Structure 1
Amino acid sequence: MSRAAETSSATRINPVVELRRDGEIAVLAINSPPVNALSAQVREGIVEGVRQAGTDARVKAVVLHCEGRTFFAGADISEFGKPPKQPMLPEVVDFIEASSKPVVAALHGTALGGGLETALACHYRVAVPSAKCGFPEVKLGLLPGAGGTQRLPRLVGPERAMDMITSGSPVSAKVAKEMGIVDEIVDETDLLASAIAFARKLVAENRPLKKVRDLDDKIAAARGKPEIFEAFRKANARKFRGFQAPEYNIRCVEAAVNLPFDEGIKLERQLFQELVSGEQSAAQRHVFFAERQVWKIPDISDDTPTLPVKKVGVIGAGTMGGGISMNFANAGLPVTIVEAKPDALERGLGVIRRNYESTAKKGRMSMEDVERRMELLTGSLRLEDLADCDLIIEAVFENMAIKKEIFSKLDAIAKPGAILASNTSYLNVNEIAAMTKRPEHVLGMHFFSPANIMRLLEVVRGEKTDKRVIATAMQLGRQIGKIAVLVGVCHGFVGNRMLEPRQREANRLILEGAMPWDVDRVLYEFGFPMGPFAMADLAGLDIGWSRETSKGETAREILCEQDRRGQKTGAGFYDYDENRNAKPSELVEQIILDLSDKKGITRREISDQEILERCVYTMINEGAKILEEGIAIRSSDIDIVWINGYGWPVYRGGPMFYAEQVGLGKVLERLRAYEAKFGADFKPAALLERLVAEGKGFRDL
């Protein structure tokens, strides 16, 4: 038989896996679009293919190759939460590693999670330069559960393995080669031919089967040295705070160093099962799917035409306007920034330049990138210079009269078809739109501060906003690296509306018996980056405060009157040292005690549980009202708003998911108890009462 005839002969193992032969090299080809996920069918096909190649006397080596745009990009997420199907991935990787003939993994696209574990079970790995390898499981509250935590340290050493596994970030093929994950980088244009040539070379040189499980040189030096792992924990303590999965991953790498391979695998399986059945992973998996769901809008199909946006205008060069402008410049779009006064414009452009230069100093961009982005920004003192913009975003002070005046002027200046957006945090977008003759082209685009960093963008749909305008705003959100959530018009939309009851309760709690540091500690321990009073000090207590109208009736007003404006003045709810480290203030304690007395409030002991319930359950209740009113499309959208805009801990899945983990019945019972004690502010939402009565959850809506 000729070589050509041999090459063309192939065995179809199943619909997605084929075994063909190129002379003495078998090619096990997988084609399971879109990302060659390791589904049960794929796993089955790999085992059968390796078995058949092993029994074929003509075959001397096997190349494992994925067709399409990527190597195995990971597990099949459609199998999450369903009964497991055989063979499981740990069995598949063991079967590959036990092959009597060398198996070469040919990597392109992304080899992630189970995909990288499959590659590590092969005896050799080649990759094209554009390939990436990684273990993102930690982002789902998991660990690589098919030997990844045991094999990777044996290739790259424990420190690099911990870094890669606990960050979840992929590495390039070049870095993977330097680390020892990849044996050879091959030609980008013909991976399969290069992998076959590499396999032939192995056979010709009679190279041994290189089983990763048997390697010891990279882990031997760390054996019996717990200080290596303690130093890593300490260095990452802030980043890992509250999360279970990073610690479990570290324990697995420790096991790889200190235990025989099979015992390490046993521990990995045990810890994987604990995580996969735990609340944190359930929450993180919920967030994973919710982030994909958020882009789906029931009445706007994927093929809704979008409007071209080639030039953007931003009104206001302050903190918000500057940050918003940076987003578009980062995406390569030219921006005209309009300010009322020359010094404000100059100051705003100067801040943008300093932000970019600071990023360049950290090595995250080049000075050429800085100049390229600054060239996309044009400053102006005339609204008329926005006449040729496709999208104009107003980012001025949160004042309805000012915003109405601007939109009235814009209506006369902006070209037909231009989108007019307000970066309002609270105000009624329909009222703003009514100032124009084109309300269908007006919507809210609520960015979060700092706008160039925070991921969340609330896209606010007005009564008359055209579907194409909404589709365009959502697409732009994706283009500038945001997670865009479509919300309806109400005071505060989703995020700020739910923040209000939390702030109300925090302020009441300190008058009733708690102190600001008690409330902050409870919410910090729950998982927030900081509590409401520490956050107020950071933002500045005088935002929206004026000496002329101050009545000294709240702790905040009294503090502002005493020039305790927060971190910037060295004192607010807390006292701060020169490094801005906070400590409880005796003066503030006395101010609060006096204020309670003045208001006739008898202070009492308040438990941590009451603080948590009053701050968090009131948010959940407001979220239920938001769903009831159709302000949010789905409960998971509310979760995404709070995770990406307000620091809700990812491992608690968002307020609405958390409510279901606690139990809606329990939330309802506590709200009723607080309503009886404190009044109508705790009155449960009708939707919450209905869901509990029907035995349903927010996800059933």
Structure 2
Amino acid sequence: MSVITTRREGDVLIVTADSPPVNALGAAVRQGLIDAIAEAEGDDAVKAVIIIAAGRTFFAGADITEFGKPLAEPSLPTVCDRIEACAKPVVAAIHGTALGGGLEVALACHYRIAVPSARLGLPEVKLGIIPGAGGTQRLPRVVGVEAATPIVVTGSPVGAAKAQAIGLVDRLAGETTLAADALALAQEIIGKPRPVSSERRDRLGQNDAQAITEYRTKNARKLAGFEAPEAAFEALTAASELSFADGMAREGELFHRLLAGDQSRALRHVFFAERAAAKVDGVAAGTTPAAIGSVGILGAGTMGGGIAMNFLSAGVPVTILEREQAALDRGVATIRRNYEATAAKGRMTPDDVERAMRLLTPTLNLEDLANCDLVIEAVFELMAIKKDVFRRLDATIKKDAILATNTSFLNVDEIAAITSRPENVIGLHFFSPANVMKLLEVVRGEKTADQVLVTAMALAKKIGKVAVVSGVCHGFIGNRMLVPRQDQADALVLEGASPAEVDQVLLDFGFPMGPFQMTDLAGMDIGWDPEKTASSTVREILCEMGRLGQKSGAGYYDYDASRKRTPSDVVGKVIRDFATAHNIPQRSIGRDEILERLLYPLVNEGSLILEEGMAQRASDIDIVWLNGYGWPAYTGGPMFWADTVGLDTVVAGLRRHADKIDGLRISSLLEKKAAAGERFNA
């Protein structure tokens, strides 16, 4: 069956794309579009053309199976130029999404009509590239530079109503009458002048450069380190200042430079890694997820409330349990306050807030959770408490319900063993703030049933999380790898680097914050017991001094009223005195050593996790660190970054610093791959 078919409807040629699942613009589709335009031009009875798609969406972008391969002709720029040059008016009829190359095809058409639910965008920057088929040149000519800039630079799509408001869409169709409405538009424009996007100058103006500069300045922090957004600014400037032909040449130069660069390779790796993470190894074929119609949550604090919001926002009823009324009221009030803050930013309506809150049932009674399909505990991180909670849950909650622990370190199998249903127990490690952070570590216990695991993964998708399966080990994937990094950060300051120097190395690498900033933000006193304190670490001494982090105005740094940080002389002296007392000589430490000692042990721990079968694949580890720990996306994640650096370089660095890394055990998998010149990610 052909992926592009044509049929006449009176004097209009209907060109239909049917290439499931998303009508990607592969070679056959591109050639089919060229042939369809030629057919229209060769038939005097055809007065207008409609390009429409079967299935669930208009063209949703490039064919990802062609990534990294020589591109077959005709190229997408050729297709777009051919559509635009058609002597007969061409209408793009859009439903679902018109993304990337799909929007570039629509921009080449002379008119665009879309259903209200459609979304249009140019997400190429998320792959480390820019549009390469005229998107950066036609879009600003159609909607103006100011409106085009966020679409091109962020890669975020716009809805059909917004698209119509900025001039990207000419008309909205009925949600179920796109074909008929597109036909009516096509018949209406027959004989009228064709608006040719590449020839338009009416939306370009003298203030374009200022608009680009203002947007770049406003978003500098968010875009820092990424090459593609900077190239997008250059391409948009070219659209404003150059002819269409020269602008296209500039777009092409930028596109090909980025495509061959490290960042694009890294971000394309991330794209495929996210999809791979959703695939679970070792599950029986045909296993389907159980229906989850209601969720119970133990704990209405910051974590429990955040977890609840994920389900409420997805339309899943939640019963939330606390021990005391005051804590319960506080938790419910925080959930409402968070939703109202979201509504104040225009991301929800007041009705949306009330709809979510109506799904929430607060209670002090464990029995009120008895009929929930899934119960998640978010109580204090202590094994004795977790076991007591699961013992009571097992006795109270219906027998086919799934019981989940939100533990970040503890042994899920040990918790499951306290119940009569270990096959229905799983770890669901949310990251704080749980209603914001995208990562969910799904911890597969030794006895966790396949259906329970598949259900957890499906549920993660429903609530908008990026889920990664982990085996049971201390700290699972992310926190286990974080430990050696923090150990080295602590060691480096005792050897002479300041907390600010250590943090700055990771900031320059692309992390949003360094280890000491992170500790100050979270609170120095997490895990600190003032009754048992013994001045055994620098952190413990600082806690004894009342330096508990940002919340107390002092931690590793000093903070002013606006929480602006400055290095602390007091902390510097505490560190020097502690080092002297423990016979640790201090010295000047270079940036390269700091980076290697922070990141190489982390990569080594990731390799040990793979070696032990605690992660399914190296790319899963990358996804954990990208979505939960602020690893800069443009380096691809820790394991991809190690591949880029060279695994032999990582092993050599670990050996060079071995005497400074307590308890170092270099992964045999890492050594083997390094010796063979192999990579973690093929």
Normalising by structure 1, we get a TM-score of 0.95
Picking from 205, 208, 215, the partner of 1:220 is: 205
- The whole-number CA distance in structure 2 between the counterparts of 1:301 and 1:207 is 60
Residue 82 of structure 2 is aligned with which of 88, 95, 101? 95
Q: In 2, distance between residues paired with 1:23 and 1:389?
A: 58
Matched residues in 2 for 1:398 and 1:310: separation?
28
1:74: which partner in 2? 61
CA deviations on 1:81-111 (whole Å, 9 max, x unpaired) are 1111111111111111122222222222211
- Within-5 A mapping of 1:33-182: 33-182=20-169
Residue 567 of structure 1, aligned match among 532, 550, 554: 550
- CA distances 1:353-399 after superposition (whole Å, capped 9, x unpaired): 22222222223223333233223222222323322222111111110
Length-normalised TM-score, structure 2: 0.97
Give, in angstroms, the shift of residue 680 of structure 1. Answer: 5.6
Would you say 1:690 and 2:676 are equivalent positions?
no
Secondary structure of 1:218 counterpart: coil
Q: 1:328 to 1:189 in 2, by over 3 A?
A: closer
Residue 293 to residue 679, structure 1, CA distance change in 2 (3 Å): closer
**Distance in 2 between the 1:129 and 1:342 partners?**
45
* 1:453 matched to 2:436: yes
Shift of 1:127: 2.0
Identify if the C-alpha distance between structure 1 residues 365 and 19 changes in structure 2 by more than 3 Å, giving closer, same or farther: closer
Question: Contact 2:610–2:618 (CA<8 Å) still a contact in 1?
Answer: yes
Partner of residue 7, structure 1? none
- Written as runs of structure 1 = structure 2, the 5 A alignment for 1:150-549 is 150-203=137-190, 206-222=191-207, 226-301=209-284, 303-549=286-532
Equivalent residues of 1:424, 1:444 under 8 A apart? yes
Q: 1:237 to 1:498 in 2, by over 3 A?
A: same
* Mapped contact 1:596–1:602 kept (Cα < 8 A): yes
Compared with structure 1, are the counterparts of its residues 200 and 528 closer, same or farther at alpha carbon in structure 2 (3 Å cutoff)? Answer: same
String of CA shifts for 1:14-37, please: whole Å, max 9, x gaps: 821123222322222221111111
* Whole-Å separation in 1 of the counterparts to 2:79 and 2:393: 63
Summarize the Cα distance change of 1:22–1:367 in structure 2 as closer, same or farther, 3 Å threshold: closer
The answer to whether the 8 Å contact 1:624/1:688 transfers is: yes
Note if 1:669 corresponds to 2:656.
Answer: no
Show the counterpart of 2:582.
Answer: 599
Cα deviation, residue 307, structure 1: 2.5
Partner of residue 15, structure 2: 28
Provide closer, same or farther for how the CA distance between residues 336 and 200 of structure 1 changes in structure 2, counting only shifts above 3 A.
Answer: closer
Distance 1:428 1:319 in 2: 23
Q: State how far apart, in whole Å, the 2-side matches of 1:329 and 1:186 are.
A: 32
Alpha-carbon offset, residue 301 of structure 1: 4.9
**Counterpart amino acid of 2:28?**
Q
Deviations 1:471-494 (A, max 9, x none): 111111112111111111010000
CA separation in 2, counterparts of 1:195 and 1:308? 39
For structure 2, the residue ranges without an aligned partner over 5 or more in a row are none
Contact 2:284–2:450 (Cα < 8 Å) also in 1: no
Unaligned runs of 5+ in 1: 1-13
Counting only pairs closer than 5 Å after superposition, residues 522-671 of structure 1 correspond to structure 2 as 522-671=505-654
C-alpha RMSD of matched pairs (Å):
1.5
Q: Aligned in 2, Cα 1:384/1:202: closer, same or farther, shift over 3 Å? A: closer
Partner-residue secondary structure (3-state), 1:565: coil
In the alignment, is the contact (CA less than 8 A) between 2:266 and 2:636 conserved in 1?
yes
Count residues with an aligned counterpart.
Answer: 682
- Name the CA distance, whole Å, in 2 between partners of 1:682 and 1:22: 73
- Percent sequence identity over aligned pairs: 56
Q: What is the letter of the counterpart of residue 36 of structure 1?
A: N
Match of 1:41, as an amino acid?
Answer: A
Structure 2 counterpart of 1:681, from 663, 666, 676 = 663
The amino acid that maps onto 1:136 is P
Give the match's secondary structure for 1:457. strand
Contact 1:671 1:683 survives alignment (8 Å) = no
Match of 1:8 in 2: none
Asked if structure 1 preserves the Cα contact closer than 8 Å seen for 2:299 and 2:377, the reply is yes
Separation in 1, partners of 2:352, 2:16: 41
Counterpart CA distance in 1 for 2:614 and 2:182 is 54
- For 1:572 and 1:274, locate their aligned partners in 2 and report how far apart those are by CA, in whole Å: 44
Q: Contact conserved, 1:672 with 1:682, CA < 8 A, in 2?
A: no
Post-superposition Cα deviations, 1:313-369, rounded to whole Å, max 9, x if no partner, equal 111111111111222222222222222223222222222222222222223223333
Asked whether the 8 Å contact 1:70–1:110 carries over to 2, the reply is yes
